[in-house]
């Protein structure tokens, strides 16, 4: 797996706060990579560090083979960090023309193309003064993409967007990765969106990576057997600490291969099973478990 960003022991402290705490992570080239984590986990600090906006206290990273801030790699990167601000008296098109000049020229055909692709074609000649947060985000994404980068870093690209906007942004991000070969690294709190759009994720907590992997592997690992049973108390006794409650049903956290043995043990223990089916974990379950924000402890002791 070719690496596009290689982070080794990156640390950033603000007084007593360790925003990044010896972070080590390899982000592969190609596809969409999600950085998740609760507020204050260090996501924006990582992005700012990778973009050379802040200096790490310790550690290092390589981006497309070069050190942080190397002009050759910076030229191949696009980014949007937080809701972008643009001169309010310019139209969306003029903003892109202005930024395009700074990048050594982007043609008007290319600007039309990107305005269209981010869904701003109709608003192209409106002044950005009247733009909503979602429209500014779209314009920011167009600005990040129009220089045809190989790597794009997007911090919360869909915050402030309405559901159709989120859907369009998801389609755009996927198509950039699938059809244009761009590597996208994004941070987001919208876990359902991340599950739909990302190939891999890293979950941060307190400046460290607590879990990393393919979204499909992480969610498959959290798969559980959902059982509608009577009597409930007997099923809980048979399953022990592998059980939690989901409404009136029991969730058994066991590998798929052990499913038949678990069902046999329940039946032999005098439990009637009305329904049994496997349910996948979603990224939200994985996130809650990995960041320690879970009600599972209480559920395990219920009943
Ligand atoms: N300029 C700064 N001065 C002092 N502390 C800072 C500064 N920037 C970030 N921090 C602190 O560093 C920690 C990590 O912040 P960061 O913004 O990277 O988190 P985040 O994961 O992006 O959070 P969010 O999801 O809220 O955007 C937090 O405790 C934050 O308060």
58 and 180 in a single domain? The answer is yes
Alpha helix positions (H), the chain? 43-50, 71-74, 92-102, 108-117, 133-145, 163-179, 191-197, 215-221, 232-239, 259-268, 283-290, 296-300
Q: How many domains does the chain have?
A: 2
12 in any annotated domain: yes
Decide whether any atom of ligand 1 lies within 6 Å of the 49 Cβ.
no
Decide whether any atom of ligand 1 lies within 6 Å of the 120 Cβ.
no
Per-residue pLDDT of the chain (303 residues; tens, 9 = 90+): 799 999 999 999 999 999 999 999 999 999 999 999 888 999 999 999 999 999 999 999 999 999 998 988 888 999 998 778 899 999 999 999 999 887 777 889 999 999 999 989 999 999 999 998 888 989 999 999 998 899 999 999 888 788 888 888 898 899 999 998 999 999 998 888 898 999 999 999 999 999 999 998 888 777 889 999 999 999 999 999 999 898 889 999 888 889 999 999 999 999 999 999 988 778 887 788 777 754 333 333 333
Residue from 10, 37, 39, 40 to probe ligand 1 pocket by mutation (most atoms less than 8 Å from CB):
40
301 in any annotated domain: no
44 and 181 in a single domain? The answer is yes
Decide whether any atom of ligand 1 lies within 6 Å of the 55 Cβ.
no
Lookup: tokens for 261: 């043995």
Q: Would you state the pLDDT for residue 293?
A: 54
Beta strands at 243-246 and 224-230: parallel, antiparallel or unpaired:
unpaired
Q: Would you state the pLDDT for residue 161?
A: 83
Residue from 10, 15, 20, 42 to probe ligand 1 pocket by mutation (most atoms less than 8 Å from CB):
42
12: domain CATH number? 3.40.50.300
Neighbours of 203 (CB within 10 A): 23
Q: Would you state the pLDDT for residue 302?
A: 35
285 in any annotated domain: no
Lookup: tokens for 240: 């022990």
Taking 3-state DSSP, the helix, strand and coil percentages for the chain, each rounded to the nearest 5, stand at: 40, 30, 30
13 and 123 in a single domain? The answer is yes
Residue from 34, 35, 43, 81 to probe ligand 1 pocket by mutation (most atoms less than 8 Å from CB):
43
18 vs 2: CA distance, rounded Å: 30
Decide whether any atom of ligand 1 lies within 6 Å of the 291 Cβ.
no
Q: Which of 201, 218, 235 is the last residue of a domain?
A: 218
93 and 122 in a single domain? The answer is yes
213 vs 258: CA distance, rounded Å: 24
Q: Would you state the pLDDT for residue 303?
A: 33
79 and 191 in a single domain? The answer is yes
117 and 243 in a single domain? The answer is no
| Nearest C-alpha neighbor of 201 from the set 33, 7, 26 | 33
Ligand 1, atom 24: closest residue by C-alpha? 39
64 and 127 in a single domain? The answer is yes
34 vs 41: CA distance, rounded Å: 14
45 in any annotated domain: yes
Neighbours of 113 (CB within 10 A): 16
**Among all chains, which residue has been given the structure tokens 């409930």?**
232
Report whether 259 contacts 225 (CB < 8 A).
yes
What is the sign, positive or negative, of the torsion defined by CA atoms of 285, 280, 271, 241? negative
164 and 24 in a single domain? The answer is yes
155 and 206 in a single domain? The answer is yes
82 and 228 in a single domain? The answer is no
* Per-residue exposure over 163-179, b if at least 16 CB sit within 10 Å of its own CB, e if not: eebbebbbebbbebbee
Q: What is the pLDDT of residues 236-279, one digit of tens each?
A: 999 999 998 988 899 998 888 899 999 999 999 999 999 999 88
What separation in Å is there between the alpha carbon of 18 and the centre of ligand 1? 9
What separation in Å is there between the alpha carbon of 27 and the centre of ligand 1? 21
Decide whether any atom of ligand 1 lies within 6 Å of the 78 Cβ.
no
Decide whether any atom of ligand 1 lies within 6 Å of the 161 Cβ.
no
65 and 200 in a single domain? The answer is yes
What separation in Å is there between the alpha carbon of 45 and the centre of ligand 1? 6
252: domain CATH number? 3.30.70
Domain assignment of residue 243, given as a range: 223-279
Cut 0.90: pTM above it: no
């Amino acid at each position: 797996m070719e690496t596009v960003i290689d982070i080794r022991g990156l640390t950033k402290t603000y007084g007593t706060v360790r925003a990044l705490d010896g972070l080590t992570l390899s982000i592969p080239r190609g596809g969409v990579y999600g950085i998740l984590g609760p507020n204050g986990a260090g996501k924006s600090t990582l992005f700012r560090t990778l973009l050379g906006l802040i200096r790490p206290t310790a550690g290092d990273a390589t981006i497309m083979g070069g050190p942080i801030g190397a002009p050759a790699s910076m030229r191949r990167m696009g980014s949007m960090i937080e809701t972008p601000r643009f001169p309010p008296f310019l139209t969306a098109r003029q903003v892109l023309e202005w930024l395009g000049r700074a990048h050594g020229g982007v043609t008007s055909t290319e600007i039309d193309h990107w305005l269209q692709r981010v869904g701003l074609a109709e608003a192209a000649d409106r002044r950005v003064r009247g733009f909503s947060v979602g429209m500014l985000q779209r314009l920011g994404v167009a600005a990040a993409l129009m220089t045809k980068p190989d790597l794009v870093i997007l911090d919360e690209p869909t915050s402030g967007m309405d559901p159709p906007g989120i859907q369009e942004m998801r389609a755009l991000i996927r198509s950039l990765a699938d059809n244009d070969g761009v590597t996208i690294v994004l941070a987001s709190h919208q876990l359902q969106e991340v599950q739909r759009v990302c190939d891999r994720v890293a979950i941060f907590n307190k400046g460290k990576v607590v879990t990393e992997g393919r979204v499909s592997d992480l969610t498959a690992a959290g798969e559980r057997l959902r059982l509608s049973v009577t009597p409930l108390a007997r099923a809980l006794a048979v399953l022990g600490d592998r059980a939690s409650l989901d409404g009136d049903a029991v969730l058994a956290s066991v590998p798929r291969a052990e499913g038949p043995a678990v069902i046999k043990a329940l039946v032999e223990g005098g439990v009637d099973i009305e329904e049994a089916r496997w349910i996948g974990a979603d990224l939200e379950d994985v996130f809650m478990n990995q960041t320690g924000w879970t009600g599972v402890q209480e559920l395990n002791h219920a009943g």
